[in-house]
Amino acid sequence: MEKILTKQEIEALLAAVFEGKIEPDRELAKEEGTVHSYDLFNSEAHKGLVPNLDIIYDGFIRYQRGTLSNRLGRIVEIKKLGAGSYKFDDFIQTLPSPVCMAIYKADPLKGAALIAFDSTLVFTIVDCILGGTGMTSVQTSANRMFTSIELRLVQKIVQDMLVDLEKAWAPLYAAKMSLLRMEMNPRLVNIVPPEYQVVTMEMQIQIDQLEGKMVFAVPYMTIEPIRDKLKSGAQFDLMAIDPQWSFRLSKELLEAPLDVSVEVGGAVISLNDLLSLVPGDTIMLDTPCTSDLTVKVGGVPKFTGMPGIRHGNKALQITNVVGKGEQR
């Protein structure tokens, strides 16, 4: 009796054909009786495995942590929760409700990708942008849909994210990230057919004490043309952090020359008195001879000190740090 493929085997076979792992013309041209083993369920196309893609997201997190902190004026922490691979239809089913999705394109790669934000993250971002604490907004609005104004505010954050994502991709592949549209209804999102594979990366964003989640979803067919570059990993040498860089930078900064000056005092005189000054005249300063003098570094007051003489040279003993009141 002829074996009939199951639904799962058919889906895996179609995915393998689409990704180029199986070429129908070549298979049909082979001699009859020639057998080649092919594991449909363990194939890379079926699993959606993309080596070193997490390194790109590590770079994105480094950039975005600073960008988002500056945008919101809050301390922001971002960490990866894990990667996954789904059929696009299954992935859509995992999204929370309500959800905010940003559809973007990475030119010249084919297809589109998306970023999904849960409601907690969206309302926290909106409230922070508008100067609130985020707590009240999230607690009272967590289950309602987003307004057009809220989507517009989140869109600005997404555009910042795409800039940082573009920087993270740059060492490997020069891709231009562009936002296509914002969407709230998962049914209206069709970046790929339902049975196609997407590779996901879930992240947790903490803004002060509030936590929200976002998910990147990229179709496997979008990444497939540069899979070999990702697999080689050679390009990521440019992204590696030099462990000695911070030490060398600190050492060079400590050797930087600084202009230090001591302000003895000041006086206010009229223009007539200024024009009448001649050698031998005395200007009375507003600083008593027993008071501390101001020490400026690069023109900025940093210390105060007591004047004196040391080893025959005029000197100054530091007594306080300006703004801190620490005794020295």
Helix residue spans in 33-169 (DSSP H): 44-47, 53-72, 88-94, 119-129, 135-141, 148-169
pLDDT of 311: 87
Model confidence pLDDT, tens digit, residues 77-125: 999 998 889 999 999 999 988 899 999 999 999 889 999 999 989 999 9
Model confidence pLDDT, tens digit, residues 245-291: 666 777 788 888 888 898 888 888 899 988 988 998 888 888 887 78
Mean pLDDT over the full length of the chain: 81
pLDDT of 20: 66
Contact call for residues 82 and 213 (beta carbons, < 8 A): no
pTM of full prediction above 0.85: no
Long-range contacts of 10-15 (CB under 8 A, 24+ apart): 11/87, 11/195, 12/40, 12/41, 12/43, 12/46, 13/40, 14/195, 15/45, 15/46, 15/195, 15/196, 15/197
Domains of the chain: 7-46 (no CATH), 48-249 (3.40.1550.10), 257-321 (2.30.330.10)
